[in-house]
Amino acid sequence: MVWEERFYAEPKDIFSIRLTCRKCQASSTIPLGDREYIPETCSYCHEGWFTKGSTDHKYLTWLLQSLIGLRRRDTDALCNIHFELPGHLNMPNGT
């Protein structure tokens, strides 16, 4: 038998999107609700994280805006939304 643990997160459980610069290793956390755009450069070393108009930047901006919209979802909605996550996560900083 294989036992796998899963977590189910609702949109309101997601607090922020975190970006870590591959050049200087600094992290930027974008809290959901503060702003609805993703920075294109590192605020510490100013390395460009995304090419202007790139698909990556568009998808990440849409994800941020979608998460913000889903957090504001009407409590009378007729279904619940959950994101399924593995029980053991591999964190980007190795912790």
Give phi and psi for 25, each to the nearest 5. Answer: 70, 5
18/69 Cα distance (integer angstroms): 18
Q: Report residue 84 as tokens.
A: 């399924």
Q: Does residue 45 touch Zn ion according to CB under 5 A?
A: yes
Considering only the stretches 13-21, 30-38, 56-64, 71-79, report the one whose residues sit in contact with Zn ion under the rule CB under 5 A: 13-21
70/79 Cα distance (integer angstroms): 12
C-beta of 33 vs 48, nearer to Zn ion: 48
Q: How many CA atoms lie within 13 A of 64 on its CB side?
A: 21
Considering only the stretches 2-10, 34-42, 50-58, 70-78, report the one whose residues sit in contact with Zn ion under the rule CB under 5 A: 34-42
Q: How many CB atoms lie within 10 A of CB 44?
A: 13
Considering only the stretches 6-14, 17-25, 30-38, 57-65, report the one whose residues sit in contact with Zn ion under the rule CB under 5 A: 17-25
Can you tell me which of 15, 37, 44, 62 binds Zn ion, judged by CB under 5 A? 44
- Interface residues with Zn ion (CB under 5 A)? 21, 23-24, 26, 42, 44-45, 47
